[in-house]
Chains A and B, each alone.
Chain A
Amino acid sequence: MKRLIFSSILFSLVLSSCKKEDVPDYNTNVKGPLSVEFDNVVGTTDLQLVTGNYTNASGESFKVTKLKYYVSNFSFTRLDGTIYTVPQDESYFLINEADASTHEAEFDLPEGEYKSVSFTLGVDSIRSTMDISMRTGVLDPTLDGGDMYWGWNSGYIFFKYEGTSPVSAMGDYLYHIGGFGGYSSATLNNIKKISLDLTARGTPKVKSGKLTNIHLFADLLKVFDGPSTVSIATHPMVMFDAYSATIANNYVRLFTHDHTEN
């Protein structure tokens, strides 16, 4: 009797799994795991911190010693156009090239097939000015020795990109890009909203019990070569300064969707 029950369970499992393969049967009340992988690259090569030698379109050779950036406020659009916005408290990530455990932002999403992802490169102004008790984890301003926060001009550094280059008079280049718009009077706002189509390179099909992974490339050449050409020789150091907007307008094109693992 027991064996019969077991066999019938097994049979129904097989049946239902077959059904899954053929016609996706999504239950939007059930969530499944989805990760978004931020794979930092330089052109067509994978980024190698410290050792890799690269050249931008201006012919300037450079190495990369540090790359860290905030991504936040994720939302995902289903094929039918409905949008799932990740609860804000769970929607902040600090990608650090030197720490592989930070390369994936992980979510639990309602089951379904998604056609696009949107997120912010940086930290939104509301969170940037929230009570300190609401800014823990990667948003703790003291994280990594305060590496991603300006104490003298309250605000997160959204994008920190450092390296060496023979064309720089000081031997290295330092790009610390931030600016959320200011506490009390308007100033730099380098918060960038990114939207990526996922249909061309494979839509994620989120289903409970299996992991779906959206694999993004972040191409550092785009920092130098975008709507504007950024030269290391001319601008080896850009921090809280008007020129940072030029770099931010370039890096808004940093990301592309490479593929999806369903």
Chain B
Amino acid sequence: MNKFFWFFILLFVTGLIACSKEEMIMPFRAFEKPATFPEPSYRMSSNPITKDGFELGRKLFYERMLSSNNTISCGSCHIPTAAFTHHGHSVSHGINDLLGTRNSPPIMNLAWSTSFMWDGGIGDLDLQALAPITSHVEMDETVENVIQKLRNSSVYPALFQKAYGSSEISTTRFLKSISQFMLMCVSSNSRYDSVQRNPNSIFLNESEERGYTIFKAKCNSCHTEPLFTDQSFRNNGLNPSVRNDKGRYLVTLNPTDEYRFKVPSLRNLKYTAPYMHDGRFFTLDAVLSHYTSEVSQTPNLDPLLQSGTVLGIPLNNNEKADLLDFLETLNDRSFVTDSRFFEQ
């Protein structure tokens, strides 16, 4: 009883603060490394994040002039309420409704990413925007043209002036502004995170606790805490589709990389369906069924998915249910509802 009382008081106070926040001019919350996260991989000192830089980056992120016919922005396929994925789309439709070949990945915790895209073809966050802008099925534009359009616009020179002290719009400033926005998209407020920050709390129920134990035994070696990816490239035994996407091989040409894709984070799965590099699974049940009974022996199948002649990860139905309960604790509602990340 007492506990409930305090809980409601806390809720009430939180509500009050939230209300008053909206009335006030929100102070800029700078990039902060969550206490339980490692040091960022991105060279933070090469691109100091400022309020004006972040806001410019946000505007660019939702800027349709980035595409050749001014219809598609980054936000078209990376929707903030879907943890910046294209929720419900196996693959995305870009310019003129042309289809891509891979599932739009979330934009979250990229400061800790060592490579980008499903195949890791991009080695630096600052270079990431070049790919969708120039892709013929995404934005089909040149960055040169984009920068020209920004220079000719009535708003951008002033915004660059604000962010960088002069109105010059250079490739570096353009790309680094978008990086600033993406770097700020940190998701670290799931229930799992609360538990990590306060191990004495009782936020996990019994089923979630059991799921966590299963996770640590059977998933954590690839989907490593706290980012829930070890950033490696692995073949998880998906049957190649007609397209026969060979994944990381395309960027390394190394036969041992055939059919390997980047291990995705397990954070925010609630918002990021469908799953896998080609979005073939619409539900987490389908994903777990894949791991328990549908793993195929394809070239470079990850050794962790085979023991002797047995393929996949053994899980009974109770274990699956517990695991799904645990995965639920990795959803960060505050991240997908954070208005700082929305188009303004």
- Residues of A at the B interface (CB closer than 8 Å) are 129, 131-133, 136, 140-146, 149, 151-154, 182-188, 240-242
Contacts and interface: CB of A to CB of B under 8 A. Distances in A.
Given A136-B172, A152-B117, A141 B127 contact: yes
A152 B121 CA distance: 6
Contacts of B253: 187-188, 240-242
Grouping DSSP codes into helix (H, G, I), strand (E, B) and loop, the A interface class, with mixed when no group exceeds half, is: loop
Nearest to A134: B172
Contacts of A186: 252, 254
Interface in B104-118: 114-115, 117
A187 B144 contact: no
B161 interface: no
Most buried by B among A152, A188, A240, A242: A152
Interface string B237-259: 00000000000001111100100
Nearest to B133: A151
B130 A151 contact: yes
A242 to B, nearest CB: 6
B29 interface: no
Contacts of B130: 141-142, 146, 149, 151, 154
Contacts of B175: 132
Which 8 pairs show the lowest CB-CB distances between chains A and B?
A183-B123, A151-B130, A142-B143, A145-B142, A153-B121, A151-B131, A187-B252, A133-B172
Contacts of A240: 250-251, 253
Grouping DSSP codes into helix (H, G, I), strand (E, B) and loop, the B interface class, with mixed when no group exceeds half, is: helix
Interface residues of B, number: 33
B172 A132 contact: yes
Contacts of B133: 151
B176 interface: yes
Contacts of B171: 132, 136, 140-142
Contacts, number: 89
A143 B130 CA distance: 12
Contacts of B46: 131, 133
A154 B252 contact: no
B135 interface: yes
A184 B117 contact: no
25 contacts: A129-B124, A131-B124, A132-B126, A132-B127, A132-B171, A133-B176, A136-B172, A141-B130, A142-B130, A142-B144, A142-B147, A146-B130, A151-B122, A151-B127, A151-B131, A152-B131, A152-B135, A154-B127, A182-B252, A185-B252, A186-B252, A187-B251, A240-B250, A241-B253, A242-B253
A143 B144 contact: yes
Interface string B164-180: 00000011100110000
Contact of A146 (B115, B120, B122, B134): B134
A187 B254 contact: yes
A74 B46 CA distance: 28
Given A142-B171, A240-B250, 18 more contacts: A129-B124, A131-B124, A131-B126, A132-B172, A132-B175, A132-B176, A140-B171, A141-B143, A144-B144, A146-B144, A151-B122, A151-B127, A152-B121, A154-B127, A183-B123, A184-B114, A187-B252, A187-B254
B43 interface: yes
Nearest to A143: B144
Interface string B134-153: 11000000111101000000
A198 to B, nearest CB: 37
Nearest to B175: A132
Contacts of A149: 130
B135 A154 contact: no
Nearest to B179: A132
A151 B142 CA distance: 11
Given A143-B144, A182-B252, A187-B251, A131 B43 contact: yes
A188 B147 CA distance: 32
B142 A132 contact: no
Contacts of A154: 121-124, 127, 130
Contact of A132 (B124, B131, B134, B257): B124
Contacts of A141: 127, 130, 143, 171
A249 to B, nearest CB: 16
Most buried by A among B46, B114, B134: B134
